Amino acid sequence: MTPELFQRGFIEKLPENLVVCSLSLDSERDDLYLTRMTKDSNPVMVKLPLGRYGNRESAEEGFEYGSRNIFCTFSDLMARSKASIKKAGSCSTKQDKMRWWEERATLDKQLETLLFQIESTGLGGFKCLLLPSSPKSETEISEFRKSLGSALYRATSPKSSNISSMEINRELCVALMELGSNPSDSDVEDIMFYFLDSLHYGGNPIDYGEIDADMLSAEIHLAFEKIHSPPPPIDASTVLLIDKQLQQLPWESLPVLRGRPVTRLPTLSFLRDRLELAPSWRENQSRMGVYTVNQTRISYVLNPDGDLVGTERNFRDLLSCQSNWQGLVGERPTESDMKDFLCNKDVFIYFGHNGGEQYIRGQKVRRLERSAVALLMGCSSGYLQDGGEFDPTGTALNFLMAGSPALVANLWDVTDKDIDRFSVNLLQEWGLLRSSSDLSGAECQESKSLAQCVTSSREKCTFKFLNGAAPVVYGVPWVFVR
């Protein structure tokens, strides 16, 4: 595909309030490739060596930088979390329970720390590429671009006589401006060395020892200080296209994205299909990429194996009192039941183990002509099994291939009380569960998207990372209830 065809076939079809970011890992060189795509702009790609901070004076002594440390630490956290969940039932004494809670709190804090390290040393000053664009004037963009280029030119021109000017990519400048007027020293340093390295390895050798790094850093800071544009709109969304080596990580809970509507998909083709199919998914839909679900067309399966007593107690009355909903409580669905729930309803809610794959085979799901929006609240319902050289497999992908606009699923095992709190808030805030007072004022309330509600519901968990970071949205951000 030529760049022109790619621009027409993908980029020009993106909605205005969306940024699409591709994350890919070159495991041999330990380089992260981050590509940012927005409507009516050329894609911008940066290569970020994951070990680059280890070569700088600010490097933390004894800390191992790079993807190996990230993956090993994350795998260890997940193994310890799973082990603690298994032994929860054997905590009989008060001391045992206290130790269990302390262990969970420690794991929660360690996961939060890991996500901070991924952002600060992996993405560094380029974390802002994940953010949607805020409104900016062309004058402000030009001034920032000129200030940044001038600072780099003055710092490098004495030793690089073949450089007549420093032309900075416009789209990259627009993205960097999302850092705001007060970026951290570490982020400015990362941006500075990125441009210096780009010059050096682009055929313009630089004597780094002759660069006045403090002066250059101060000038870059000054360029950022002149930015006065507002933050991105709260309803502007990010879609992450995450490659198979990175998909197990909860990118949505990085500090820069925490609190923002974010979804994920395997490839750009999955996104394009959902944007184009939105008008035909239900009657009376016309906006590209925006899906609405009918609050009366809901199906559910609650505690099908009969062993999630607490979850059934929390949700039985909430679900059964919805007169137009169809579902099963304490009863295993047949494959025919699952097909009916997925094909003939707008939303399918599942409170059971895993993602319900034990009741309908994956190949059957993939062959469905249509699939409802799915809320799969079981443990590891969104986990994708590593396929080595091949693409990963999992329940979430089966639903996407069946045409589901979006689904909520957990990347790893979670505890039931926290995920129940998350689920109650999600159902209420999204508008599926409404009290009489909600119904009387429904017309006055501003509808929130599924992605927005998932983001805010994470904060209802006691362990906001160990459990709250597990639920993610696969699909498009704009799924609303009417």
- Look at the block and give the residue holding tokens 């206290």: 98
pLDDT score for 60: 66
Q: For the chain, how big is the Rg over CA atoms in Å?
A: 24
Set 128, 379, 453, 461: catalytic member: 379
Cα distance between residue 266 and residue 277, in whole Å = 17
pLDDT score for 7: 84
Question: Is pLDDT above 80 for 223?
Answer: yes
pLDDT score for 149: 92
- Which amino acid belongs to residue 74? F
Q: Averaged over 322-334, what is the pLDDT?
A: 95
Both structure tokens of 203: 């055929």
Sketch the domain layout of the chain as residue ranges.
Answer: 237-481
Angle between helices 94-117 and 67-86 (to 10 degrees): 160
DSSP code of residue 283: T
Is the separation of the CB atoms in 295 and 481 below 8 Å? yes
pLDDT score for 260: 96
Higher pLDDT, 56 or 394: 394
- Look at the block and give the residue holding tokens 């992450």: 240
Cα distance between residue 304 and residue 296, in whole Å = 22
Q: Averaged over 174-197, what is the pLDDT?
A: 95
Q: Residue 80: CB partners within 8 Å, gap ≥ 6?
A: 103, 107
**What is each CA distance from 218 to 58, 96, 182, 350, in whole angstroms?**
16, 53, 12, 54
Q: Residue 241: CB partners within 8 Å, gap ≥ 6?
A: 20, 21, 22, 23, 264, 265, 266, 267, 268, 271
Is the separation of the CB atoms in 360 and 384 below 8 Å? no
pLDDT score for 358: 96
Mean pLDDT score across all residues of the chain: 91
Q: pTM score, two decimals?
A: 0.94
Cα distance between residue 145 and residue 333, in whole Å = 59
pLDDT score for 165: 59
Cα distance between residue 121 and residue 310, in whole Å = 41
Q: Which of 338, 347, 300 is nearest to 321 (CA)?
A: 300
pLDDT score for 177: 96
**What is each CA distance from 434 to 93, 376, 441, in whole angstroms?**
40, 20, 10
Q: Residue 27's pLDDT band (boundaries 50, 70, 90)?
A: very high
Angle between helices 416-430 and 450-457 (to 10 degrees): 140
Cα distance between residue 449 and residue 429, in whole Å = 9
Question: Is pLDDT above 70 for 441?
Answer: no
Instruction: Render pLDDT for 285-309 as a digit per residue (tens, 0 to 9).
Output: 556 789 999 999 999 999 999 999 9
pLDDT score for 156: 84
Angle of CA points 131, 200, 21, to nearest 5°: 20
55-64, 122-131, 381-390: which range is least confident on average? 55-64
Cα distance between residue 435 and residue 424, in whole Å = 13
Higher pLDDT, 437 or 302: 302
Q: Residue 19's pLDDT band (boundaries 50, 70, 90)?
A: very high
- Which amino acid belongs to residue 460? K
DSSP for 20-68, written as a single string? EEEEEEETTTTEEEEEEE-TTS--EEEEEETTGGGGSTTPPTTPPPSHH
Q: Residue 13's pLDDT band (boundaries 50, 70, 90)?
A: confident
Instruction: Render pLDDT for 228-251 as a digit per residue (tens, 0 to 9).
Output: 888 888 889 999 999 999 999 999
Both structure tokens of 240: 């992450």
pLDDT score for 316: 96
Instruction: Render pLDDT for 89-109 as a digit per residue (tens, 0 to 9).
Output: 788 899 999 999 999 999 999
**What is each CA distance from 214 to 155, 185, 221, 268, 316, in whole angstroms?**
11, 10, 10, 41, 63
Cα distance between residue 85 and residue 77, in whole Å = 12
Question: Is pLDDT above 90 for 166?
Answer: no
Q: Residue 215: CB partners within 8 Å, gap ≥ 6?
A: 155
Q: Residue 48's pLDDT band (boundaries 50, 70, 90)?
A: very high
Is the separation of the CB atoms in 142 and 223 below 8 Å? no
pLDDT score for 144: 95
pLDDT score for 286: 55
Query: In the CATH hierarchy, which fold is given to the domain comprising 237-481?
Result: Rossmann fold (3.40.50)
Q: Residue 78: CB partners within 8 Å, gap ≥ 6?
A: 412
**What is each CA distance from 372 to 64, 419, 473, 474, in whole angstroms?**
44, 21, 14, 13
For the chain, counts of helices (H) and of strands (E): 15, 15
Phi and psi torsions of 106, nearest 5°: -65, -45
Q: Residue 254's pLDDT band (boundaries 50, 70, 90)?
A: very high
Cα distance between residue 240 and residue 407, in whole Å = 15
Please report, rounded to a whole number, the percentage of residues in the chain having pLDDT higher than 70: 93
Is the separation of the CB atoms in 54 and 69 below 8 Å? no
Residues in a beta bridge with 299: 326, 348
pLDDT score for 63: 62
Both structure tokens of 426: 């999600």
Q: Taking the CA atoms of 11, 13, 15 and 21 in sequence, report the sign of the dihedral they define.
A: negative
2-11, 15-24, 313-322: which range is least confident on average? 2-11
- Which amino acid belongs to residue 378? G
379 catalytic? Reply is yes
Beta strand 479-481 with 385-387 is unpaired
Cα distance between residue 65 and residue 54, in whole Å = 6
pLDDT score for 444: 41
Please report, rounded to a whole number, the percentage of residues in the chain having pLDDT higher than 90: 76
Question: Is pLDDT above 50 for 442?
Answer: no
Higher pLDDT, 343 or 287: 343
Q: Which of 161, 165, 210, 214 is nearest to 192 (CA)?
A: 214
Is the separation of the CB atoms in 86 and 100 below 8 Å? no
Cα distance between residue 251 and residue 242, in whole Å = 9
Question: Is pLDDT above 90 for 449?
Answer: yes
